[in-house]
Amino acid sequence: MKHIIVTIPLIVMIGIYISSFRHNKAMNFTQIATGLGYPVQEYYVVTQDGYILKLFHIPGDRSKPILLMHGIIDSADTFIIRGKTSLSVGLADAGYDVWLGNSRGNRYSRRHLSLDPNIDKEFWDFSFHELGYYDLPAMIDFILDETGVKSLSAVGHSQGNTIFLVLGATRPEYNDKIKVMVSLSPVCYLSNINNAVLYLMNFIPAIDQFYRLIGEEEFLGDDTALIRLYRNICGSKKSYGVCANGIMFSLAGSDPDGMEPDFFPTVVKHYPTGTSKKNVIHVSQIGLRRSFAKFDYGCKNIEVYNSSKPPEYDLGKVSMKVVLLVGRNDEISRLEDVRLLESKLPNVVNSTILKHEKFNHIDAVWGRNMSVYLFPYIFDILSKYG
Ligand SMILES: *[C@@H]1O[C@H](CO)[C@@H](O)[C@H](O)[C@H]1NC(C)=O
Ligand SMILES: *[C@@H]1O[C@H](CO)[C@@H](O)[C@H](O)[C@H]1NC(C)=O
Ligand SMILES: *[C@@H]1O[C@H](CO)[C@@H](O)[C@H](O)[C@H]1NC(C)=O
Ligand SMILES: *[C@@H]1O[C@H](CO)[C@@H](O)[C@H](O)[C@H]1NC(C)=O
């Protein structure tokens, strides 16, 4: 009897371990784009604080550079995994010089001049604040230098938009380097999120405690045990019911027509792909504190900010042109929160609720029909302001 009690968990563990080698590795951005007939150049950009970021480039008209920034725990892959109907391909076909950034900590930007992400906890001491304050300036200046123009257009999805707000608020001189920032599923205020997301946010402090216990600072990275397990369970068409319907749709909004079972395993291969625990905590603070403010260190705020509360980001300083595009079925970027953001920003040139009733948070990057429901708006706006 004792033997069985010991052996069964052992066999299960060995099974999980072996199966984690079984799934084939995802293709990288360059391989996917090249396979579609779009040659890619890869660059490294070093931030002021030593992070080494990967920038992908699909060359086009150098006078029209555009930078695409992914959302939380995501990567540049998000703008190519839909193949021919992906945004990066659509923009390349339209002649734009397409650049794709990768924020620190994801699968392409897990490098630093002196810190080792596998050993040094300091590597993971960042949130979306640093993605906006350090990563964006490094990438923007690099692109402007390479192309020789004074400003570029930008598209951000979800947190890929938040970081431009941080940039505009904390380094106002960068506002002039952005012609227009097209914000897909904008995330800033998170005061009206749905129950599933709120539940998750309330759970974050417990996750934090657990991570402290096991000494982890990286969150949902490709090589973590949790993500290996997730890729094994959710990486097949058969688990669509549990993983897409059960998890993804309840968090992001449901549109089964936009996310068919054949495509879901591709998403699972590429998403999620790592960020810091601190980033996730900061996002949950925005929701729970109902304020778009810097990281809340609790009793250490006085030391860090000379104030008992973290200072709010001054959205009045974000003078770049901003376009807000949101779907009414988005469970994360709720219309009420987007309206509040619109009221705080001084230069929103267009704010549009997409016509497609089911359009949700993830349709903007992975939706099967986004080239019909969304891209015409983006192209129209870029031709006006880009
Ligand atoms: C992508 O894969 C190709 C082919 O294996 C390799 O040459 C390239 O360095 C990879 N790029 C990245 C960013 O992983
Ligand atoms: C800290 O805040 C107080 C009160 O707001 C202010 O008087 C003081 O000058 C500040 N100190 C520093 C170092 O900024
Ligand atoms: C979405 O795209 C698929 C595949 O291209 C197509 O069959 C379907 O009719 C489209 N749905 C809508 C509502 O446009
Ligand atoms: C916003 O942009 C869309 C797409 O270009 C356009 O159809 C709409 O008329 C614009 N709205 C305003 C108020 O300019």
- The domains of the chain, with CATH numbers, are 39-385 (3.40.50.1820)
What is each CA distance from 216 to 118, 226, 275, in whole angstroms? 10, 12, 12
- With H, G, I as helix, E, B as strand and everything else as coil, classify residue 386: coil
Residue 4, pLDDT > 60, answer: no
Torsion angle of C-alpha atoms 171, 159, 56, 260, degrees rounded to 10 = -160
Distance CA 29, CA 42 (A): 10
Nearest CA owner, ligand 1 atom 8: 30
State mean pLDDT over 264-276.
94
Structural contact between residues 104 and 53, judged by C-beta atoms closer than 8 angstroms: yes
pLDDT band at 237 (very low <50, low <70, confident <90, very high): confident
Which residues make Cβ contacts (< 8 Å) with residue 204, sequence separation at least 6? 280, 281, 284
**Which atom of ligand 4 is least distant from the CA of 351?**
1
Distance 263 CA to ligand 3 centre (A): 14
Task: Please choose from 377, 383, 385 the residue to mutate so as to test ligand 4's pocket, defined by most ligand atoms within 8 A of CB.
Answer: 377
CB 72 within 8 A of CB 106: no
Q: For the whole model, what pTM was predicted?
A: 0.93
Assess contact for 247 and 187: CB atoms under 8 A: no
**What average pLDDT does this structure show over 215-229?**
90
pLDDT(15) > 60: no
Q: For residue range 180-221, list pLDDT tens digits in order.
A: 999 999 999 999 988 788 888 888 988 998 998 888 899 999
Q: Which residue has the higher pLDDT, 237 or 382?
A: 382
123 band by pLDDT with thresholds 50, 70 and 90:
very high
3-state DSSP assignment of residue 96: strand
pLDDT bracket for residue 19 (50, 70, 90): low
Residue 56 CB–ligand 1 contact under 6 Å: no
**Residue nearest (by alpha carbon) to ligand 3 atom 14:** 369
For ligand 1, atom 14, the nearest C-alpha belongs to 28
Catalytic residue among 97, 330, 337, 363: 330
Minimum-distance ligand 1 atom for the alpha carbon of 42: 13
Q: What proportion of the chain, given as a percentage, has pLDDT over 70?
A: 94
Q: What is the pLDDT of residue 16?
A: 54
Query: Rounded distance, CA 29 to CA 102, Å?
Result: 11
Closest ligand 4 atom, residue 352 Cα: 1
Distance 103 CA to ligand 1 centre (A): 18
- Ligand 4, CB cutoff 6 Å, lining residues: 350, 352, 377, 380-381
What is the bridge-based pairing of β-strands 96-100 and 52-58? antiparallel
368 CA to centre of ligand 3 in angstroms: 7
Q: Whose CA is nearest to atom 9 of ligand 3?
A: 369
Q: Which ligand is nearest to the CA of 32?
A: 1
Q: Which of 358, 142, 335 is nearest to 259 (CA)?
A: 358
Q: State if residue 54 touches ligand 1 by the CB under 6 angstroms criterion.
A: yes
Identify residue 367 by its one-letter amino acid code. G
What are the residue ranges of helices labelled H in the chain? 2-22, 29-35, 87-93, 128-130, 136-147, 159-170, 195-214, 225-234, 240, 249-252, 264-270, 277-289, 301-305, 335-344, 363-366, 370-373, 375-385
